[in-house]
Amino acid sequence: MSDHESTPESVAAAEHAVEQARADVAETLDALAAKFDVKARATERAHATADAAKEQAHLLADRVTTERGGPEPWLIAAAVGVVVGIVGVVVLHRRR
């Protein structure tokens, strides 16, 4: 047998190597396409940020409500304090 002759085993091995190389190239191209898809990455990040904000809102809501679902008394007092402070600043500002 000369060097230029091929056996069925060597042909099958070469075909398998080519198919594996094609699969590797396709995987690499898919990874690059995903990396450069800025719109999809931005959308994914926006969804993640929105989910995190919703979770924080639920945690905050749990902290400022009583077991019966109403607002905590300290929250009402703080809100009244803020309103009184704003009204006071407006009144003082108008008197000048």
Would you place residue 65 in the very low, low, confident or very high pLDDT band (cuts 50, 70, 90)? confident
The structure's pTM equals 0.45
Whole-Å CA distances, 41 to 29, 31, 48: 17, 13, 11
pLDDT of residue 63: 83
Is residue 1 predicted with pLDDT exceeding 60? no
pLDDT of residue 4: 61
**How far is Cα 85 from Cα 70, in angstroms, rounded to an integer?**
24
Using alpha carbons, select from 49, 68, 46 the residue that is nearest to residue 57. 49
**What mean pLDDT comes out for the span 64-80?**
87
Check: CB of residue 64 under 8 Å from CB of residue 71: yes
Would you place residue 6 in the very low, low, confident or very high pLDDT band (cuts 50, 70, 90)? confident
Sign of CA dihedral 72, 73, 79, 85: negative
Percent of the chain with pLDDT over 90: 52
For tokens 């905590």, name the residue.
Answer: 72
pLDDT of residue 55: 93
**What mean pLDDT comes out for the span 48-77?**
88
**What mean pLDDT comes out for the span 61-89?**
89
